[in-house]
């Protein structure tokens, strides 16, 4: 959820709305931002820099892997003198900028313009559409995976909250977790750790490509949620 103070306009744009934006590479949009990450975005970035998601989460993220790490002057760690050093694998928030995206309860998409940096040199217009802008930024797989992770993570958090709320059943639930599939609270969002454990337990080969690995990860998370739901007291 994007705070209203970060918005230049409310969420009212659709993909058909008139919109265009020309980046002038002033680099100011990569300062003072908290760039959120989901496991797919972490996996794309990790593959791009040639490391595991476990290593990437430890080295390049904050808040338990929820956002990209920033330098002491509040600049993204991947901003270099010539711009973004991970451009081909940049997260969804960077691809959407200067727009924010929200899904309504009915599953529809709405977009809003974000407050730009006061000295941003980006040029706004309405020569194109939101949809054309998004296509140019290659958002499609990022949006699809954001929605899939959003759904399974909400279910996981609800299941964990229910389990926590039932103190009597907690010990039994934890025992079930220890004897259930290897994906648990400690490694659930670390894709490489989770799919390695899940694949080993089920005798499944772990795909080498990020897209295939992501689908196996979502399957592992859904199994984890199903086990939480089946735990006594859940």
* 203 backbone φψ class: left, alpha, beta (φ>0; ψ -120 to 50): left
**Pairing label, strands 123-129, 18-22:** antiparallel
- Min separation Cβ 94 and ligand SF4, Å: 3
Min dist. Cβ of residue 45 to ligand SF4 (A) = 8
CB-based burial of residue 155 (10 Å sphere; 0-12 exposed, 13-18 middle, 19+ buried)? middle
Site for ligand SF4 in 28-67 (CB under 6 A): 30, 33, 35
Q: How far is CA 129 from CA 10, 13, 124, 158, in A?
A: 17, 10, 12, 37
Nearer to ligand SF4, 60 or 227 (CB): 60
Q: Where are the alpha helices (DSSP H) in 120-209?
A: 130-136, 140-165, 167-179, 191-202
Q: Which is nearer to ligand SF4, 13 or 30 (CB)?
A: 30
Residue 89: CB minimum distance to ligand SF4, A: 8
Residue 21 Cβ, how far from ligand SF4 at the closest point, in Å? 14
Least separation in angstroms between CB 78 and ligand SF4: 4
Binding-site size for ligand SF4 (CB under 6 A) equals 11
- Residue 143 Cβ, how far from ligand SF4 at the closest point, in Å? 16
- The Cα 100–Cα 92 span in angstroms is 10
Q: Which is nearer to ligand SF4, 33 or 217 (CB)?
A: 33
From 75-83, 115-123, 137-145, 207-215, give the range in contact with ligand SF4 by CB under 6 A.
75-83
CA distance 234 to 218: 21
Which CB sits closer to ligand SF4, 103 or 117?
117
Among 90, 101, 217, 227, which residue sits at the site for ligand SF4 (rule: CB under 6 A)?
Answer: 90
Beta-carbon-side half-sphere exposure of residue 115 (alpha carbons within 13 Å): 11
CB atoms closer than 10 angstroms to residue 16: 9
Compute, in degrees rounded to 10, the torsion defined by CA atoms 111, 69, 66, 9.
Answer: -20
Binding ligand SF4 (rule: CB under 6 A), the pick from 78, 133, 198, 224 is 78
Q: Mark 91-120 with x for binding to ligand SF4 (rule: CB under 6 A) and - for no binding.
A: ---x--------------------------
For residue 215, what are the contacts with CB-CB under 8 A and spacing of at least 6?
207
Answer yes or no whether residue 153 interacts with ligand SF4 by CB under 6 A. Answer: no
Binder to ligand SF4 among 37, 76, 99, 210 (CB under 6 A)?
A: 76
The residue among 68, 63, 11 whose CA lies nearest residue 34 is: 68
- Residues forming contacts to ligand SF4 in the complex (CB under 6 A) are 30, 33, 35, 68, 76, 78-79, 84, 86, 90, 94
């Amino acid at each position: 959820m994007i705070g209203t103070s970060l918005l230049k306009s409310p969420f009212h744009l659709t993909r058909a709305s008139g919109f265009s934006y020309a980046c002038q590479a002033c680099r100011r949009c990569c300062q003072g931002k908290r760039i959120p990450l989901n496991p797919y975005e972490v996996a794309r970035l990790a593959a791009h820099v040639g490391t595991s998601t476990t290593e990437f989460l430890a080295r390049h993220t904050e808040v338990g892997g929820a956002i990209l790490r920033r330098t002491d002057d509040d600049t993204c760690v991947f901003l270099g003198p010539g711009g973004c050093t991970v451009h081909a694998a940049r997260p969804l928030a960077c691809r959407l900028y200067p727009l924010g995206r929200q899904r309504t309860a009915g599953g529809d998409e709405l977009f809003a313009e974000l407050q730009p940096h006061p000295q941003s040199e980006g040029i706004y217009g309405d020569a194109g559409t939101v949809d054309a802008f998004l296509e140019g930024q290659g958002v499609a797989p990022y949006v699809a995976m954001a929605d899939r992770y959003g759904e399974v993570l909400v279910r996981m958090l609800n299941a964990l909250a229910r389990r926590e709320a039932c103190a009597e059943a907690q010990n039994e639930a934890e025992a079930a977790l220890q004897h259930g599939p290897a994906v648990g609270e400690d490694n659930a969002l670390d894709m490489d750790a989770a799919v390695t454990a899940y694949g080993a337990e089920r005798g499944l080969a772990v795909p080498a490509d990020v897209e295939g690995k992501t689908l196996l990860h979502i399957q592992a998370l859904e199994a984890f949620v199903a086990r939480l739901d089946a735990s006594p007291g859940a």
